[in-house]
Structure 1
Amino acid sequence: MAIRQLSIFLENRVGRLASVAKALGDAGINIRGLSVADTKDFGILRLIVDDVVAAENVLRSHDTVCQINDVTAVDVDNQPGGLAKVLTALNEAAVNVEYMYAIAEPKGVRPVMIFRFGDAKDAAMAALQKAGVHLYDEQDLLGK
């Protein structure tokens, strides 16, 4: 099960994050989760939005470099060791996590983690399912 995520490449300067948020907000697109990684000169903004194709079109129309990537969203037990359970299943399947971040999901009491696995996506999903970890699809996560 894949969730489509936008990866946006931004110059690391005042106002760039605000301009992306404003463009999406003006287009009626809701940001459901995000992560920002930066260096001195540029940053990568990763977004989970309620309409990824429309968001990509809006951003490209504002000359913003972006691409759509597949990521995996999973439930994590909201207790000590919850994240360790998920990561242990991936480790036992020899799956490398390229990056991960949490998103707020007010519909439930369990945190939702977003993972990017690269070429090992199928092995990762099989390992997580075997470990009893709930995987989301876009309809389940975003209510589409």
Structure 2
Amino acid sequence: MKVKQISVFLENKSGRLAMLTKTLAQKNINIRALSIADTTDFGILRLIVDRPDEAYQVLKEAGFTASETNVIGVQIPDCPGGLAQIMEVLAEAHINIEYLYALPEKPVDQALVIFRVERVDDAIIALQEAGITVLSGEEVYGL
């Protein structure tokens, strides 16, 4: 139920993100979701791709500073309170959320959200016990 996310350190310079996306495109690796957090000097790009192991190797070989992180892909009802329900389950399990972002594609009436939490395995158990759909890596990569 874990999803591999690739995090890439990028200098905040013109063309750096273009170089990264071109590198992945040349290997026919599809970006499924992304998030970027930046400062004046650098950014951290977080990626979900269709072939994470290959993408990680390709980026490292191209000279990018990259790491792999396990995250969780959660299917949430796309309605008022849908996200609040997930937050409540994680809060009751005393699991801290480090960050989250949404995937652009979704089934009808559902939202797909990527969560980075401090205790991934415990979060998966808590969410599943609450009847919440946690997607496998293959399900997320195939969207």
* The two structures share one fold, judged by TM-score above 0.5: yes
Q: Residue type matched to 1:90 in 2?
A: L
| Matches for 1:10-49 after TM superposition, within 5 Å | 10-49=10-49
In the TM superposition, what is the alpha-carbon distance from 1:127 to its structure 2 partner? 1.4
Quote the Cα distance in structure 2 between the aligned partners of 1:122 and 1:139.
Answer: 17
- 1:85 aligned partner: 85
Quote the Cα distance in structure 1 between the aligned partners of 2:41 and 2:30.
Answer: 27
In the TM superposition, what is the alpha-carbon distance from 1:16 to its structure 2 partner? 1.2
Cα distance per residue 1:43-72 (max 9 Å; x no partner): 100000011111112111211000111100
State which drifts further: 108-117 or 27-36.
Answer: 108-117
Q: Which runs of 5+ in 1 are unaligned?
A: none
Aligned residues: 142
User: Once superposed, which parts of structure 1, at least 4 consecutive aligned residues long, lie more than 4 Å away?
Assistant: none
Q: How many percent of aligned residue pairs carry the same amino acid?
A: 44
Quote the Cα distance in structure 2 between the aligned partners of 1:142 and 1:66.
Answer: 19
In the TM superposition, what is the alpha-carbon distance from 1:143 to its structure 2 partner? 3.1
Question: Is the Cα–Cα contact under 8 Å of residues 48 and 141 in structure 2 kept in the other structure?
Answer: no
Which of the two has greater strand per residue?
2
| Matches for 1:62-101 after TM superposition, within 5 Å | 62-101=62-101
- 2:55 aligned partner: 55
- 2:122 aligned partner: 123
- 1:102 aligned partner: 102
Q: Residue type matched to 1:68 in 2?
A: E
Quote the Cα distance in structure 1 between the aligned partners of 2:30 and 2:142.
Answer: 12
TM-score by length of structure 1 reads: 0.94
Residue 105 of structure 1 aligns to a residue in which SS? coil
Q: Which runs of 5+ in 2 are unaligned?
A: none
Quote the Cα distance in structure 2 between the aligned partners of 1:66 and 1:117.
Answer: 19
Q: What is the RMSD computed on CA atoms of the aligned residues? A: 1.3
